[in-house]
Amino acid sequence: MASEIAVCSLGLFILDTFEFRSANTPSTSASQGGTTLLKRDEGVIGGGGTYAIVGSRVWLPSKRVGILVDRGRDWTDKVQNKLDEFGKEMWTYREKEEETTKALNLYIGQHRGEANKSTIPSNLFAKPLLSQTIAQSSWRRLRFLPSDSIS
């Protein structure tokens, strides 16, 4: 008998970029939007779905949790190796020709900027994929955060 999945998340897996800029100063140029780039971290594993499922690992083994991840053409070994550390069984991948879903988290001074952007594909939760995945599973819990873009 196959192991029963107790918790599965349909939340997002995102590769985050964190950009930290100084607050406006008279010495910064207008072409930089009045700020100076201090630090930029790219390819940080993120997304609410990712954290929900990784958090579930506190109580459950990796074979009892799951998440669907869109793996884009820009996928790196570094990201794959980090995810595998949590347990290879918990990740279900959907290969995409586009880039992996990303988000920019911009911080200016001590405040979060207004330019937070994401590249979330509109077909992330395509009905045929979900129907097939759910029908083949024995999930008991499903975490789903609806989006305005889902039809």
> Mean per-residue pLDDT for 56-63?
92
| Statement: residue 131 has pLDDT above 70 | no
What are 20's strand-pairing partners? 39, 107
At residue 72, the pLDDT reads 92
Q: Identify whether the C-beta of residue 49 lies closer than 8 Å to the C-beta of residue 56.
A: no
> Quick check: helix, strand or coil at residue 36?
coil
What are 114's strand-pairing partners? none
**pTM: predicted TM-score of the whole model, two decimal places:** 0.72
More confident residue, 74 or 5: 74
Domain 7-143 has CATH 3.40.1190.20: yes
More confident residue, 107 or 148: 107
Residue-wise pLDDT tens digits, 63-113: 999 888 889 999 999 999 999 999 999 998 888 888 998 988 888 887 776
> Mean per-residue pLDDT for 12-27?
81
> Given CA atoms 115, 14, 53, 124 in this order, what sign does their dihedral have?
positive
| Statement: residue 21 has pLDDT above 60 | yes
At residue 25, the pLDDT reads 60
At residue 35, the pLDDT reads 80
